[in-house]
Amino acid sequence: MDLELKDNAALVTASSSGLGKASARALAAEGADVVLNGREEERLAAAVEDVRGDAADGATVIGHAADLTDPDEIEGLVRRPVDEFGGLDHLVTSAGGPPAKPFLETTDEEWYEAFDLLVMSVVRTVRAATPHLRDGDGGTIVNIASITVKEAVDDLALSNSVRMGVVGIEKTLSKELAPEIRANAVLPGTHETPRVEEVVEDRIERGEYENYDAATGELSAEIPVGRLGEPMDLGRTVAFLSSPASAFLSGVALPIDGGESASNL
């Protein structure tokens, strides 16, 4: 299915690895010109080369290093696709996860840091991008949040609480920026990303699992489709939500979790 994204311009934040990178890969594979973002230049450069390998003919993939907690760097990041591609059609916001801790072990500083990283990064990026998204034939915003918005996960007090703000923003944007701009969110469940792999390895070291296969096997057993998510499961959904094929979808918060969550809504 051609998603009609050829020659569109996209910016994907926090895309040097994991779900952000998969989203950039899916957009580039559909022919969009894409700016990837990360804080570490070496890691970002490697991600750009990787995504270029799957990009459609004619699609341009570049990187722009920026810290999403720095408002000045966000302004420069949003200008990059406009300067390089002549505009901005699609914005995908992502950010690394906050520390995994129970509520009573979480400090005030960690709460403020999580809010700045997860919520204010979206606020500032969308604010800077909106004029450019409005300039084209119809822009899109996709916010990558978490299934914790639907169902709280043990020891993830910060993610359970703060990420709900991202969905509140997305729903507000779907009304305030309509009809020129559509806004949606995706709520990933357990995907086999570098962060999940790191968590699994930590649990193996603590003796909770015998090996990696045993750990992923147990995690998969809780997912009705019988496996962990692959990053491209989410990436392809992001590309769809950015395309004309989803033209009547806006204000949606879509779980991408293989049926893992128990929430009815």
* Structural domains of the chain, with CATH: 9-189+230-252 (3.40.50.720), 192-228 (no CATH)
pTM equals: 0.94
Q: How confident is the model at residue 263 (pLDDT cuts 50, 70, 90)?
A: confident
Residues 191-202, mean pLDDT to the nearest whole number: 81
pLDDT exceeds 80 at position 190: yes
Q: How far is CA 189 from CA 100, 106, 160, 177, 219, in A?
A: 15, 23, 13, 28, 11
Residues 108-125, mean pLDDT to the nearest whole number: 97
More confident residue, 207 or 250: 250
Q: What is the pLDDT of residues 120-165, one digit of tens each?
A: 999 999 999 999 999 977 899 999 999 999 999 888 999 999 999 9
Q: How confident is the model at residue 96 (pLDDT cuts 50, 70, 90)?
A: confident
Q: How confident is the model at residue 99 (pLDDT cuts 50, 70, 90)?
A: confident
d(CA 108, CA 98): 13
Q: Which residues contact 42 (CB under 8 A, 6 or more apart)?
A: none
d(CA 220, CA 101): 23
> Which of the listed ranges 43-47, 201-205, 211-215 does the model predict with the highest average pLDDT?
43-47
Give residue for tokens 């004029």: 131
Tell me the angle at which helices 18-29 and 41-52 cross, rounded to the nearest 10 degrees. Answer: 30
pLDDT exceeds 80 at position 46: yes
Residue 100: predicted pLDDT:
87
pLDDT exceeds 90 at position 241: yes
Residue 237: predicted pLDDT:
98
Which of 244, 201, 207 has its CA nearest to residue 30? 244
Residue 32: predicted pLDDT:
98
pLDDT exceeds 90 at position 262: no
Q: What is the pLDDT of residues 1-13, one digit of tens each?
A: 799 999 999 999 9
Residue 250: predicted pLDDT:
98
More confident residue, 203 or 236: 236
d(CA 106, CA 154): 13
DSSP 110-163: HHHHHHIIIIIHHHHHHHHHHHHHHHSS-EEEEEE--GGGTS--TT-HHHHHHH
Beta bridge partners of 188: 256
**Is the N-terminal amide bond of 231 cis, ω within 30° of 0?**
no
